[in-house]
Amino acid sequence: MANPESGPVETKSFKEKYLDLQHIAREVMILQRRNQNLGPFAVQDGFLFAQATLTLLALERFLRAILRDASDADRFRSLLTRAFDNGLLEPPFEDRTEAIQRICDFRNALAHGNFGQAASAAGARSVREYLDTQFAVEARHMLQVVDKLMAQIDPATGSRRT
């Protein structure tokens, strides 16, 4: 029972509690709307790096929020793995290991600027070819993946939708 002297107890929804996540998601959507009419290979004409980076920032913030016990020491891969292992999220691909690897590889290419490795993994002959032919497609796909993951959680409770 609440102490009458302390006033009413405020209960915030998951969405209200993590306003920072809402702001990041809003900025991702602004960038997505800006970039949506670009051709599939138009990296130089848009803000695809910004969109992709914010998409993955949103995912990491989301993982930390739904796990609730995440610490500063937890790395992205371990957060993602725990969310799948704990049943909080269903992997977006049939193969759980592949899902973790693909998401982490894309994140690492952006976080560390290692587009040479991304180009090699994608079968591109050069970073330029990768950026010109595949990066935009991968960035848009990652936004869809993150959207599917976030849709699995109830914004009111922060728990898995049933």
Tens digit of pLDDT for each residue in 61-116? Answer: 999 999 988 999 999 999 999 999 999 999 998 899 999 999 999 999 999 999 99
The answer to whether residues 116 and 127 touch, using CB atoms and an 8 Å cutoff, is: yes
What pLDDT digit, counting tens, does each position of 113-149 carry? 999 999 999 999 999 899 888 888 899 899 999 999 9
- The whole-number pLDDT of residue 132 equals 83
